[in-house]
Chains A and B, each alone.
Chain A
Amino acid sequence: MGIVYAIISGKGGVGKTTTTANLGIGIAQEGKKVVLVDFDLGQRNLDLILGLENRVIYDMVHVMDDEAGLKQALIKSKHADNLFLLAASQTKDKSVLVQEKVKKLIEILKEEFDYVILDAPAGIESGFEHTIMYADATIIVVNPEVSSIRDADKAIGIVDAKSEKAKENKKVQKFLVINRINPSMVSNGDMLASADILDILSIDLLGKIPEDKGIIEASNSGKPIILNENSQAGVAYKRISKRLCGENVPFEDVESFVSPSIITKIKSLFQ
């Protein structure tokens, strides 16, 4: 039986879909069978970022309405074996989601896959609620800025109040990913430090990802940054993926700003 993760943020544009794509590849590279489900109906994105733009024929709404079989709708990733995408519908919107059908879909996926990762829409409306309803755990993605933190705080509150597990009085695991950390801004005190964010949100830290301009290019070209071994952000996603597979990967301090070493400075004098 697989584990269902919902990737949420509250605020839009903090890197939910990027995180979903990268963790999907990372976990699949660890040899697990993974399906990514795009719950952002009407604003399909995950296919683009995975480089599967024109491969979507059937989407999750077709599957839920029995217009297509699951096997027909699952799109195999080019980047990793064992990784599949179930795309969002681009023509229909969030209002077509019905709780019963969502539940059934997730139950089927849980039987087929080790990891079922749901990419939530931004906001806290019905589409968001359907995403968290049947999740075993949630991954909250935030940026180190106050508006992202407040929206995440609200989203966590909704997970605690409304998810199916919470209603059964079971704890829903909540893990925090701090995305787009700019080390020099943190050391200058211009950006919220991770310790403060953890204090406010009071959930467990899963990982920190430094700001990386390469992510934009990676998204545009459909090759998630985790495939780039020279990228700090890619390596950070790799570490998180391993943690999600149960491996005890030590936390790296991506936050402290490493100024150019003294040797680099001395060498620069020679030129």
Chain B
Amino acid sequence: MKVKQYSVKVFEINIESQSSFLTFMDKNIIMLKHYLIYIRGEITPVIEEYLKSNDITYTTRLSLSDAKHQDLVLKQSDLKIIDEIVRSGRDIKVASDLLILNRVNSGAKLQVEGNLIITGVVDGMIFCNGDFMLVKTSSKAMIVFNGVEIDGSLLQNKFNKIIFNGDEIIVTPIEKEPKWA
């Protein structure tokens, strides 16, 4: 026997009227096509036909709050947000994703198991094991991504998107300064 575990994104849609449902679906069909849809309310034959013809995966028997189906509740990965300057001497360990809305100064250390975005300049030390990282570093910073130290000269002075796709690390500089607000 083979068992696999998936994390699935589910959209929950309440049918209020057939027409409004169909308008909504038509508008968003491109995106919704790729997700499992949990439909509540009456599925009229017209709706059923629509779903079938558009090849949409859906279910009506998914109770996210029902205790019996607790296992089905898919917990979104936590995101920790730090909205202060990370000063020298701080040693931050985070098991989830991390968003820092400020600088990381020289002498500070971050260890992040999830993905990482830092909107300020990084002078400190970063260990990130996620799939994705967006950082702007100075030449002093040390960045280790999935066990690989990334050459500081690659990253200097602009935002870089760093992606780990399973067997290689891809660093893409972002030419335009992102607007965070």
Contacts and interface: CB of A to CB of B under 8 A. Distances in A.
A67 B107 CA distance: 43
Nearest to A10: B88
Interface in A137-193: 146, 149-151, 153-154, 156-158, 160
B88 A157 contact: yes
B89 A154 contact: yes
A126 interface: no
Contact of B89 (A146, A157, A200): A157
Contact of A154 (B85, B87, B103, B121): B87
A202 interface: yes
Taking each of B89, B106, B121, which has the highest tally of chain A beta carbons within 10 Å of its own beta carbon? Answer: B89
A150 B106 contact: yes
Taking each of A150, A153, A200, A202, which has the highest tally of chain B beta carbons within 10 Å of its own beta carbon? Answer: A153
Contact of B88 (A153, A160, A199): A153
Contacts of A150: 88, 105-107
B97 interface: no
B138 to A, nearest CB: 10
A154 B88 contact: yes
B93 to A, nearest CB: 17
B52 interface: no
Contacts of A151: 88
Contacts of A156: 87
Interface in B35-91: 85, 87-90
A158 B87 CA distance: 10
Nearest to B123: A200
Interface of A: 146, 149-151, 153-154, 156-158, 160, 199-200, 202
7 contacts: A150-B106, A153-B88, A153-B89, A153-B107, A157-B89, A199-B103, A200-B105
9 shortest interchain CB distances as A-B pairs = A157-B87, A153-B88, A154-B88, A154-B89, A153-B87, A150-B88, A150-B107, A202-B85, A153-B105
